[in-house]
């Protein structure tokens, strides 16, 4: 537990948000291949444990060192069970950090995304002193849109990221 405590960034009543580790590869493999991820975020072509470890090293862990927060693993506090991810990322084509979240399907609809995103936004405002946070989603992801609005983000416009053909809805909250 002591090693786990050092990795905790944020806590809520039911959740712990901590830095991800290579040991989280099995969870990431499941998340990256979950129905919701594939439908709303896209196939990252991660099909085995080694590819999940590489994805963590090349895409996730480096983000933590770049912007001070990165994508965090969301665990149920009592069970110490990984259920999703939530955090801030710097994305090409966006002028500010953007909040992202994804949860395994069996944990959807239980308020975990809201419960984890609220302290991430508070951290962005109070600790990182960011003037605003963005979010992107596709128009078909109604649950994500509802959550962004519940968090206080407002629709700005439809955009496309560099080297991407997909229309994305851009949301923003200013602090």
Check pLDDT > 80 for residue 5.
Answer: no
118-135 mean pLDDT: 96
Report whether 99 contacts 120 (CB < 8 A): yes
The answer to whether the pTM exceeds 0.85 is: yes
Provide the residue range defining the domain that includes 16. 2-174
| Beta-strand pair 98-103/168-174 | unpaired
Q: What percent of the chain has pLDDT over 70?
A: 93
Residues 6+ apart with CB under 8 A from 101: 84, 85, 86, 87, 113, 116, 117, 144, 147
CATH code where residue 62 lies: 3.40.630.30
pLDDT per residue as tens digits for the range 44-54: 999 999 999 99
* Residue 32: both structure tokens together: 């990256």
Number of domains the chain is built from: 1
Check pLDDT > 90 for residue 65.
Answer: no
Signed CA dihedral, 5, 9, 10, 14: sign only: negative
What value does the mean pLDDT of the chain take? Answer: 93
Measured at the alpha carbon of residue 26, what is the angle toward residues 112 and 76, in degrees to the nearest 5?
A: 25
Which pLDDT belongs to residue 69? 72
Which pLDDT belongs to residue 2? 45
């Amino acid at each position: 537990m002591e090693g786990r405590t050092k990795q905790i960034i944020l806590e809520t009543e039911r959740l712990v948000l901590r830095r991800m580790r290579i040991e989280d590869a099995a969870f990431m493999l499941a998340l990256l291949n979950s129905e919701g991820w594939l439908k709303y975020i896209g196939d990252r072509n991660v099909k085995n444990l080694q590819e999940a470890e590489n994805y963590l090293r090349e895409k996730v862990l480096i983000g933590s060192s770049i912007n001070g927060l990165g994508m965090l693993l969301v665990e149920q506090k009592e069970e110490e069970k990984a259920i999703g991810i939530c955090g801030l990322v710097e994305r090409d084509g966006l002028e500010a950090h953007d909040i992202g979240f994804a949860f395994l399907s069996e944990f959807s609809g239980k308020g975990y995304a809201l419960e984890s995103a609220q302290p991430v936004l508070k951290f962005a405002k109070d600790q990182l002193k960011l003037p605003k946070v963005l979010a992107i989603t596709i128009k078909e992801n109604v649950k994500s849109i509802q959550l962004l609005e519940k968090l206080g983000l407002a629709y700005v416009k439809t955009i496309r990221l560099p080297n991407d053909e997909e229309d994305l809805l851009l949301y923003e909250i200013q602090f």
